[in-house]
Structure 1
Amino acid sequence: MKQLLYLSLVTLFVAACSNPSAIQMPQETQTYSFLVGTYTDTVDQGINFLKFNPEENLFEVQLLAPDVQNPSYVIASKNSKLVFALEESAGVSGGDVLSFNLNLAKDSLELIAKQSSYGNHPCYLALSPDESLLTVGNYSGGNLSIYSVQEDGNFTYLQTVQHEGKSVNEARQEGPHVHSTVFNPKGDRLLVADLGTDKIYNYKVSGNEAEPLSLLAEFPVTPGDGPRHMKFSEDGESVFVVQEMSATLEIYSFMEDKLELKQRLSLLDEGFTGQVGAAEVRLSSDGKNVYVSNRGEANTISVFSKNESGEFERIQNISSGGVMPRNFIVTKDGKYLLAAHQSSNDIVVFERNPETGELTITDWKVTLNKPVYLFQLTD
């Protein structure tokens, strides 16, 4: 009897190997996890956690950390164990910068430390590539601060750098407004976009804790542009800059500490005359596509593709699927783009064509109060 059972199992195994479709192996499904920064109206709002699994038709959001005031920018360490956020507020010593322990098993955040940003309305955070330094850009304060970061998530204040000056738009550029602080891939340079002065600043990053940042150069942009967010190419030799007030994407080479303009590309369709507010820029992981959001009366996402000559050209302008797409993110595998809408209080999902980079909106949508930043966590 045992011999007969053994032969039957062998026969079944051989048959299955000759016909692989006979065995249906369970397929692992991909769950994407994100931190969501928001603007808050009540104490029971704050930092959120978003899960998206297209195979299981799962798209849900839950509150991780209530009673955090206007955590409009939230990032995490490479291992997703530490989270850094800001409170976009004003006070005697500015807003605040916070660090947390993230427990994905319990979907919880535990506060580690909280310090002043030393400038009003902090709006941007960046970790150096080795995660030893943290910078914050203070919009209303017109300055940036830098901290040293310990392995346990505590951080120590090192320096604040104050910008001076103004530009041509009296309503928006009456003084400096630091909007982003971006490390190059090597971590030895920090580029700072200042909407108020119409300049991009290049700082040297050193190991000198008394003065970790020292200014190397200032690069003026077209008056009235209002530089906002930036992204480096993977090799650090190109910089993609969103000009908020003119709704343009500018592409610079960055060699030997010099920014040289290579391309200036409009986000606007021909004949558009409404209000604009270009916001975020993202690159696909293969470097072939650049994506930029535009708010105001446009509410679009522009898709740029690299052509055979190595230059970028706009191939698509698509509705963002909501109102005021302040921020969006392309998933690390390049399959999806998620757009967060501050005014329509929702996040929507687009499918991304891996060949062209073009976007197609889906039916996935989740509602929450004023989502304004998305950060994808490590799986």
Structure 2
Amino acid sequence: MKRTKTTDVYLCSAVPDGGIVRYALSRAGDLTLLDTLALPSPNYLVIEGDTAYATLSSPFPGSDEGGVIRLSVNADGSLSPAGEIVPTGGDGACHLAFDGDDLYVSNYGSGSVTKIGRSTVAHEGNGPDPIRQDAPHCHCAFFSPDKRFLLVCDLGLDTVFVYDRDLNEVSRAKVPDGAGCRHLTFSRDGRFVYVENEMGCSVSVFLWEDGRLIYRSTCPTRTYAKHPGPDKGSAIRLSRNGRRLYITNRGENEVVVLACRGEKLRVIGRAPTGGDEPRDFVLTSDERFGIVANQFG
């Protein structure tokens, strides 16, 4: 999101003839369509200043290999390509992180993480669920607060890998079997890591000690109410003051609010997302609004 007189909101439309759609969010909470940058199957976008990158799940005809493209953020907030689509070295690109000239992409389908232009690390193994965890599935890569380390969630292996910036493994840590770690965030003081588990609909808490993760606890987020389809966690966000965690659960189609005090988490509220299959969630910079991307409307 980019702050002007209104707030620019960018949404990835991850279909072959989709693109990145830009809306204006008013102070009253209304969204107005502004424009669309046509791109093939964009599914994750990161903006820092006047630079942005987007992952593309399968932009090359006849191939499952993912791609990434650099974008410029123009003065009016619109996006424009600033380079060609670059292969990610794996299938199903789904997440990216960048700092300076270093760009890292997670490839869900091939269970790998790539430092673009440098190297790719492919995970091996499987988890206890024969359908969802038949192979590695890298879902994200996040920097540590000091930018020295990269933390990679592998849903297929129930494992968070810690790498240095050259993708040398430093350590690894397990979430509960079958939990399927998806995304993570650090506490504001950098002492704890909160890992959102997609399959377990839960949050696992780890103590962070200079490149090592020490497991502390796991907090469930589902209600176990009867409804069609499976429950699947998706996004995790932390409030600016670090006292609230927000989790989106698919199936129950809600945002779950947790009170957060260091390693202690407690569910304190739930809100419907107003649609089906919430895949991501962000807070506006003033935290007056939360914006949910529901995959099926």
Counterpart CA distance in 2 for 1:323 and 1:233 is 29
Aligned to 1:135: 104
- For the Cα contact (< 8 Å) 2:278–2:293, is it kept in 1? yes
Note the alpha carbon deviations across 1:71-112, whole angstroms, 9 max, x for none.
0101112x2x11100111276571111011221427341342
Aligned to 1:184: 144
Aligned to 1:51: 24
Note the alpha carbon deviations across 1:106-127, whole angstroms, 9 max, x for none.
7341342321011011000111
Note the alpha carbon deviations across 1:147-173, whole angstroms, 9 max, x for none.
3xxxxxxxxx11111110101111111
- For the Cα contact (< 8 Å) 1:252–1:260, is it kept in 2? yes
Note the alpha carbon deviations across 1:208-264, whole angstroms, 9 max, x for none.
xxxx12001121221111100111223322111111011001121111322122331
Counterpart CA distance in 1 for 2:227 and 2:275 is 19
1:158 aligned residue (118, 122, 126):
118
Task: Mark the runs of 5 or more structure 2 residues left unpaired by the alignment.
Answer: none
User: What code does the residue aligned with 1:115 have?
Assistant: V
2:94 aligned residue (123, 131, 153):
123
The RMSD of aligned alpha carbons is 2.0
Counterpart CA distance in 1 for 2:21 and 2:198 is 26
Counterpart CA distance in 1 for 2:186 and 2:7 is 24
Larger radius of gyration: 1
Note the alpha carbon deviations across 1:142-199, whole angstroms, 9 max, x for none.
101013xxxxxxxxx1111111010111111111100010101111011100011111
Counterpart CA distance in 2 for 1:259 and 1:305 is 22
Aligned to 1:63: 35
1:101 aligned residue (60, 72, 80):
72
Aligned to 1:86: 55
Mapping of 1:350-361 within 5 angstroms?
Answer: none
Aligned to 1:278: 233
Aligned to 1:265: 219
User: What code does the residue aligned with 1:50 have?
Assistant: Y
Corresponding residue SS for 1:40: coil
> What is the deviation of 1:306?
2.9
Aligned to 2:185: 231
Structure having the higher helix fraction is 1
The share of aligned pairs that are identical, in percent, is: 26
User: What code does the residue aligned with 1:99 have?
Assistant: R
Structure 1 273/223 Cα, relative in aligned 2: closer, same or farther at 3 Å?
farther
Higher relative contact order (CA 8 A, sep 6+): 1
> What is the deviation of 1:133?
1.2
Aligned to 1:247: 201
Deviates more, 1:317-326 or 1:233-242: 233-242
User: What code does the residue aligned with 2:202 have?
Assistant: T
Structure having the higher strand fraction is 2
Aligned to 1:294: 249
User: What code does the residue aligned with 1:134 have?
Assistant: L
